[in-house]
Structure formats: C-alpha cells, structure tokens
C-alpha cells in the first residue's frame, strides 16, 4: 500500500540486502513516473557505508524530487540519507533524534592490509564529510569536529544544523 502511494519506509539497519531493496524501489518509482515526488521515511540506526552509498547515489541519480522524513531515530548513514533529500523537502517529526559520528571500521591482518584499510576509511570519511557539507552548508572542519564523537540532535537542532528543512507538526485533533 505504501509503495502505491510512492512511499518508501527504511526502518532497519542498512546492509546490502536492504540497500538493494531500497534502490530497486527508487528505480521502479522513478521509471513509473520520473516527475512525481517520492517520499522516504527513515527510522534507521545506519549501517554499512558502501550499502548506504548505493542508496545515496541512486537518490541523486534519479530525476524525482525525494522528500525525507526522520521518524524515531536516524543515525549514522541514516542521517546521511535524511540530509540527501531534495532541498526544501527534508523533514523531521517533532520527537525524532538525529545522530552523527565519524565512520567506524575495524582492521585486522598483516600491517600492509591494515594500512590499506585505514586509507580506505579515511577516503570514505572525506567523501561523507563532503556529502554532509553539501547537504547542510556546514564547513568540513565543523563537520569533522562535530562527528569526532557521537553527536545527537533533536528535530529543531537538526533544522538549525541544516540536516533537515522543517519540523513537521501534527495537526491539532
């Protein structure tokens, strides 16, 4: 039912399987109508960077405007996807929590393998800082400082930071 209304719900950690499903939904919806908006509701603790980048790149590649909505918590790459929505169409529900941190990874093996993995995580960090800087307008040095450790924002703070454009207020009942 949600899919017929052009709504994608990302409500879990992001891995290859989840990313493939979300990418497929984006492509199908774009193919059906390349001019109609797509809504993406996000309640995700984040996940694998490469999987998240597959979703991010697809969001940016298709011609549709994509509204993103933080529901519950967006953390790590969930926050990157939230901020990747079309400008003016990035929202947070009033009690949503938005979380950012630097990329995480582990390395084991021979010294040369660890060095390769360290270079890769630094490359990914630079890429993510660029993505978030473009999305938020924050300078990269500010983002690097703010993501050095866990940073939690409420919905209004996410607006002020530039991660979302507006807090959605429910209508009075």
Please confirm, yes or no, whether 99 is among the known catalytic residues. Answer: no
| CA–CA separation, 131 and 142 (whole Å) | 13
Active-site position among 86, 101, 127, 133 = 101
Q: How many CA atoms lie within 13 A of 50 on its CB side?
A: 5
Give, in degrees to the nearest 5, the angle at Cα 12 between 9 and 18. 80
Is 127 noted as a catalytic residue in this protein? no
Candidate list 30, 51, 67, 76, residue with the active-site label = 76
Closest by CA position to 30, among listed 67, 65, 62: 62
Q: Which residues are catalytic?
A: 76, 101
């Amino acid at each position: 039912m949600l899919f017929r209304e052009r709504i994608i719900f990302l409500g879990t950690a992001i891995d290859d399987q989840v990313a493939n499903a979300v990418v497929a939904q984006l492509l199908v919806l774009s193919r059906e109508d390349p001019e109609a908006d797509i809504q993406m509701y996000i309640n995700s603790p984040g996940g694998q960077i490469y999987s998240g980048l597959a979703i991010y790149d697809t969001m940016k590649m298709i011609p549709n405007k994509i509204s993103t909505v933080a529901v519950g918590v967006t953390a790590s790459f969930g926050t990157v996807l939230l901020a990747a929505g079309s400008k003016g169409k990035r929202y947070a529900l009033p009690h949503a929590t938005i979380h950012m941190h630097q990329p995480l990874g582990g390395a084991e093996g021979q010294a040369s393998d660890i060095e390769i993995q360290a270079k890769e995580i630094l490359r990914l960090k630079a890429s993510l800082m660029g993505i978030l800087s473009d999305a938020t307008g924050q300078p990269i040095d500010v983002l690097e400082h703010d993501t050095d450790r866990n940073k939690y924002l409420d919905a209004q703070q996410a607006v002020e930071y530039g991660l979302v454009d507006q807090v959605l207020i429910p209508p009075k009942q």
